[in-house]
Chain A
Amino acid sequence: MAVLEVRDLATYYYLGKKELKAVDGVSFDIESRRTLGLAGESGCGKTTTAYSIMRILAENGKIARGSVTLGGVELTELSDEEMRQIRWKKASIVFQYAMNAFNPVLRIGRQIVEVIREKDKMSEEEAVLTVSTLFDEVGLKPERQTDYPHEFSGGMLQRAIIAQALACDPQLIIADEPVTALDVIVQNKILDLLRKLQDKYNLAVLFITHDLSVVAENCHDVGIMYAGNLVEVGDAASVFKKSLHPYSYKLIGAFPSVVGPKKRLEFIPGSPPNLLNLPTGCKFHPRCPFAQSICKDDIPEFREITSGHFAKCHFAGELDFGGGQ
């Protein structure tokens, strides 16, 4: 059974009287030792999806419908106090800006000890020992837990955040753009570390990023989001090599590569829709080169086209994108 099951999740923000549909019907599973990369452009709802799972939405954000089950527990129905017990212990989140995630006036070790003692009944000494083990695990010297955040480099801070995320032995880690602020070489070291820890602790990982190159190299499965919808999901090779949704195809083709011959890069005319004023039917139809009248009128169903490979397009599997992928 999958560790995380998300079904028809919809999260809306309320701006005065207006309803902003940030996430509108997203379904996916993540099994233990698997990584799902959730990718899309700014405003597509990938971070809101993550925040909905953790239930850390801003005050004006509400889960409108759908279900999120983690290890068999329905998260959307838990009380705030029960949800508090889930965070860190069952699911933790790693944010993009490690430098903002730690309090600058407290020693780093102290802040992780605090998390551990809050969640697990453990003595101060035991907690400090746990932090030492964790530091060792993520490639930091245990004696550096008495350092302040400004004494760490960007890569070291990201390691410390990962140590903190692992502190209470969760089943699921959500990594929201965990390496975007880092240089490529450090970036790969952190990603290697995440993979190693995933295997060791049987973690399910939800990896959120705008960078499809990073997804291609680090995720088992890929989900592509557009304007609040999950438009395609499947294993990485299928989504990249046999894209079903025109948006995924174009977006993947827009990423430049340093290997192989220089090919023509794709682009999509226009820009993503205003979430307060969404187009009818398929949300991608105004920018889609294959749009027919049905696309304007009817919302496509999210359906399985080939085994484990889903897409939300009326013509999924029937389109010829031209040229090999």
Chain B
Amino acid sequence: MTTNDTILSVQDLRKWFTLRAGLFSFNRQPSYVKAVDGVSFDVPRSGSIAIAGESGCGKTTLARTILRLVEPTSGSVLYNGENIYEMNRLELSELRLKMQLIFQNPFEVLDPRHTVVDLVGEGLVIHGLQENDEVLHDRVISALEDVRLIPAEDFATRYTHELSGGQLQRIAIARSLILKPELIIADEPVSMLDASIRTEVMNLMTDLQKEKELTYIFITHDLAQARYIGDYLIIMYLGRIAEMGPMEDVIQAPQHPYTKALVSNIPIPDPTVERDRIMLEGETPTPVDLPPGCRFKPRCQEIGVYCKEDEPILHEVASGHWVACYIE
């Protein structure tokens, strides 16, 4: 499936965390939290993919593993065709320039004792790319202008407590942009922001994508938000992909019973819309000691014969639309 237009290819990626057995347990077999358990997908160059799911579905672990912030249990991630887990320190350091991460909470990411100019220029200094102070300063100013913090000279000398949440998140984006990345992974980039400011940051990110030909991977728990920032949607459940496809296809015509339930439960900001909700039994369990067969089976309302035996694999139901479910 991997073509020249694929910037990133995730292949059967697994990340299991070991749970240590207690000191006095008789049966000291280790068990695992299978946070990411066999995930494969391709990211097209200049595309924008949203990865969505409920808490504990493994979306953040997936992002961290793709960036090699944690080592995988198995599987590979090809960046422009090269396996990032086989890269040495030097290659990895170069890769980090091209793949940037934006976190949810800009208040925690940005050091309150540094001025904006230091915060935005930090990446260049760390990578030894600052030629001299003047060039560094100029690049910071142009990065601030890119994220529409104007007049940039004025913002450059400020501290974080002098800025609003939306401005801080734009500074976090400028910190990434200054390194001229190709791929940005954004983990809930607007979830901390108030509604009236959120759209502005979302629009900025969309504009930057076009201007800088960026590729995005958005991690979010909010499908309504995902719809506005991505053009392809991946739904995860307990460490695996339940369904993926073009955004509107998945939102308007979900195929997997889990996606159907999830979409039907998203609140609609319109009191005159009445919808039927699909309720699921129980809550999402932790991915430890999963039963054989489909991992969604205990909460599923449409169980068939195969569901109890084998884990369903993704199959294509329409162009680019993949579902991991036996039920047609």
Contacts and interface: CB of A to CB of B under 8 A. Distances in A.
Contact of B283 (A42, A186, A237, A266): A186
A323 interface: no
B22 interface: no
B202 interface: yes
Given A41-B196, A210-B195, A214-B267, A255 B202 contact: no
B290 interface: no
Given A217-B268, A266-B199, A271-B166, A185 B228 contact: no
Contact of A183 (B54, B195, B271, B277): B54
A216 B265 CA distance: 13
Contact of B203 (A41, A42, A185, A267): A267
A185 B54 contact: yes
B198 A267 contact: yes
Contact of A216 (B164, B225, B263, B271): B271
B283 A254 contact: no
Interface in B37-67: 54-55
Interface stretch (A66-74, A169-177, A256-264): A256-264
Interface string A257-279: 11100100111110110000000
A277 to B, nearest CB: 14
Interface string A217-246: 100000000000000000011001100000
The winner among A153, A210, A240, A271 for most chain B CB atoms within 10 A is: A271
A236 B268 CA distance: 13
A204 to B, nearest CB: 19
Interface in B188-236: 194-200, 202-203, 221, 223-225, 227-228
A271 B284 contact: no
A212 interface: yes
B128 interface: no
B262 A185 contact: yes
A188 B265 contact: yes
B154 interface: no
A126 to B, nearest CB: 32
A193 to B, nearest CB: 12
Contacts of B273: 259
A137 interface: no
B283 A153 contact: yes
B253 interface: no
A15 interface: no
Contacts of B224: 213, 255-258
Contacts, number: 113
The winner among B199, B227, B270, B273 for most chain A CB atoms within 10 A is: B270
Contact of A254 (B55, B199, B263, B284): B199
Nearest to A256: B224
B279 A257 contact: no
Nearest to B229: A256
Contacts of A217: 267-268, 271
Given A185-B261, A186-B283, A188-B265, A265 B271 contact: no
B280 interface: yes
A254 B221 CA distance: 18
B151 interface: no
Given A42-B194, A262-B227, A184 B199 contact: no
B117 interface: no
B137 to A, nearest CB: 27
A254 B198 CA distance: 8
A213 B164 contact: no
Contacts of B165: 271
A154 interface: yes
Contacts of B221: 183
Contacts of A272: 194, 196
A255 B224 CA distance: 8
Given A210-B194, A267-B196, A271-B166, A258 B268 contact: yes
A211 interface: yes
A251 interface: yes
Nearest to A156: B283
B269 interface: yes
The winner among A213, A241, A266 for most chain B CB atoms within 10 A is: A213
Given A237-B272, A255-B224, 6 more contacts: A183-B54, A185-B265, A185-B283, A188-B265, A217-B267, A258-B263
10 contacts: A183-B283, A187-B265, A241-B272, A254-B195, A255-B269, A256-B228, A257-B269, A259-B273, A267-B198, A267-B200
Interface of A: 41-42, 153-155, 183-189, 210-214, 216-217, 236-237, 240-241, 250-252, 254-259, 262, 265-269, 271-272
Interface of B: 54-55, 164-167, 194-200, 202-203, 221, 223-225, 227-228, 251, 261-263, 265-273, 275, 277, 279-280, 283-284
